[in-house]
Chain A
Amino acid sequence: MSHRTRRAHPLAALIAVFLVLTQSRAQAHLVTTGLGPLYDGAGHLVLSPECWLVPLVLGLLAGLRGQAAGRRAVLWMPAAWLISGVAGSLITLKISFPASTLIFLILGLLIAMDRALTARTVGIIAAIVGVIQGLLDGLSMPWREGGVLAVLGSAAAAWILLTLVTGFVVAMQRPWQRIVGRVVGSWIAAIGLLMLGWWIKQG
């Protein structure tokens, strides 16, 4: 591993901590950046933990499964997110079930168990995750209010985040680094489980 990559590790951790600590409450409506719907959509993803955690978790799963799986995830998730998001912005539908919690729970468990998934399976998972998250995003961004551009913004932001995380994780070749990845996966599954309980409690 190069010195440059080694330096990037604490820096990436710093950015991750920064992102977590600066979150405000997740917002059902679009964030207004003043820069237009494209950036509003990107801002919505960056400022909503349940949105940016999804590409982060998927990147961790795909990265741990290697380059081929990573490439498929990077291709399929944003494409599915965009198509599903555009469809979601055109329809009116009320979804009360927190689908993100199931994504965290299932993907977190797959990461923790280090399941030997093929690149094709990872691609299918990435597409399913993209469809679900894109739909949830699109439903909160009606097309009349520039929703299509906003969905494009959020899908692009998700793609950038996914690419960065996947590349970062693929570079993690040492055994202890993979173990850290799996431990983080177990934490993500734990978060999903707690959120599920929280949702049931809220009724």
Chain B
Amino acid sequence: MKPLSSTPSQAKMLGAILLLSACFTQPTHAHAVAAGTMSFTTGLSHPWSGWDHILAMVAVGLWGAQLGAPALWLLPVAFPMLMAFGGFLGLVGMPLPGIELCIASSAIVLGVMVALQARPPLWVAITLCGLFGLFHGHAHGTELAPGHDGLLYSIGFVIATGLLHATGIALGGIHRWKAGRLVLRAAGAGIAVMGCWFALEALA
């Protein structure tokens, strides 16, 4: 692919976007209008709110990169889908047992899978990631503060989750080199150790 460069057509498009932005600019309100943007940014920042969530989601991407296609994209599809279902259960008030312990376990198990370069059958990998996604989503669903715009919050939340998986997949790209594979396995071990720490905190 050719490197991107500024062309007259792109400059025109940028101008059109700026014009569009100016046309639809609304009067500033101290509170009400901010709610939409706030909802989006709150949703976007929520998956980044704890290391237990971040490490588990990145580990999904790392494991997917190790396993290759089709797990590479099926795991990051299963996780957000089941996470959204978990969020749904959390929102409607349906309880799940041992949430914090399961979230900590997700970092341990996924970290161990990356460290061992485990290659279970595809359905086992998908079920495992989906199950952990369910508990992560439930935690997010129950922690949701009222007063936000549901759609914008959800868009931000799902995009952030996808970006965390994408980060894992991108980092997992080093899998193609021998030294990279070692680094990846060490990272998996590190995630598992962190998971043990989270589990101890959950049990304390």
Does A97 sit at the interface, judged by CB under 8 A?
A: no
B185 to chain A, nearest CB (A): 26
Q: Within the complex, what minimum Cβ distance (angstroms) separates A186 from chain B?
A: 4
Q: Which A residues touch B149, using CB under 8 A?
A: 25-26
Q: Assess whether A25 is in contact with B33, with CB atoms less than 8 Å apart.
A: yes
User: Is the C-beta of B158 less than 8 angstroms from some C-beta in chain A?
Assistant: yes
Residue in chain A with minimal CB distance to B159: A187
Partner of A186, one of B17, B81, B141, B150: B81
Encoded as 1 (CB less than 8 Å from any A CB) or 0, chain B from 148 to 170 comes to 01111111011100100000000
Taking the complex as formed, is B32 at the interface, i.e. its CB lies under 8 A from any CB of chain A?
Answer: yes
A176 to chain B, nearest CB (A): 9
B152, A23: Cβ atoms under 8 Å?
A: yes
Within the assembled complex, what's the spacing in Å between the Cα atoms of A49 and B162? 19
Q: A191, B162: Cβ atoms under 8 Å?
A: no
Q: Which residue of A lies closest to B91 (CB)?
A: A197
Which of B36, B85, B90 interacts with A23 by CB under 8 Å? B36
Interface size range on A against B: 35 or more
Q: Which chain A residues border B144 with CB–CB below 8 Å? A: 198, 201
* A179 and chain B: residue at smallest CB distance: B73
Q: Judge whether B37 is part of the interface by a CB distance below 8 angstroms.
A: yes
- In angstroms, Cα B158 to Cα A188, docked, is 8
Contact A24 B37 (CB under 8 A): yes
The answer on a CB contact under 8 Å between B151 and A197 is: no
* Chain B minimum-CB-distance residue to A43: B24
Return A150 CB to nearest CB of chain B, in Å.
16
In the bound complex, CA of A112 to CA of B80 (Å): 12
B9: shortest Cβ distance to chain A, in Å? Answer: 8
Residues of chain A with a CB closer than 8 A to B155's CB: 20, 49, 191
Per the bound structure, the CA–CA distance linking A49 and B77 in Å amounts to 23
- B: interface residue count bin: 35 or more
Q: Chain B contacts of A196 at CB under 8 A?
A: 88
Within 8 A of A (CB), among B48-106: 73, 76-77, 80-81, 83-85, 87-93
Residue of B9, B24, B93, B151 with most chain A CB atoms under a 10 A cut-off: B151
Contact with A49, one of B9, B33, B152 (Cβ below 8 angstroms): B152
Say yes or no: is B13 at the interface (Cβ < 8 Å to chain A). yes
Q: Chain B residues near A179 (CB, 8 Å)?
A: 73
The residue on B at minimum CB distance from A105 is B84
A11 at interface by CB-CB < 8 Å: yes
* CB atoms of B87 and A193 under 8 A apart: yes
Is the C-beta of A47 less than 8 angstroms from some C-beta in chain B? Answer: yes
* Neighbour of B32 across the interface among A11, A25, A195, CB < 8 A: A25
3 smallest A-B Cβ distances: which pairs? A197-B91, A190-B84, A198-B150
Q: Which residues of B are interface residues toward A (Cβ below 8 A)?
A: 1-2, 4, 7, 9-10, 13, 17, 21, 23-24, 26, 32-33, 35-37, 39-40, 73, 76-77, 80-81, 83-85, 87-93, 141, 144, 149-155, 157-159, 162
Q: Can you list 19 residue pairs at the A/B interface with Cβ under 8 Å?
A: A6-B1, A6-B2, A7-B4, A14-B17, A15-B17, A24-B33, A24-B37, A25-B35, A25-B149, A26-B149, A43-B24, A50-B151, A189-B81, A193-B81, A193-B85, A194-B91, A194-B153, A195-B151, A198-B154
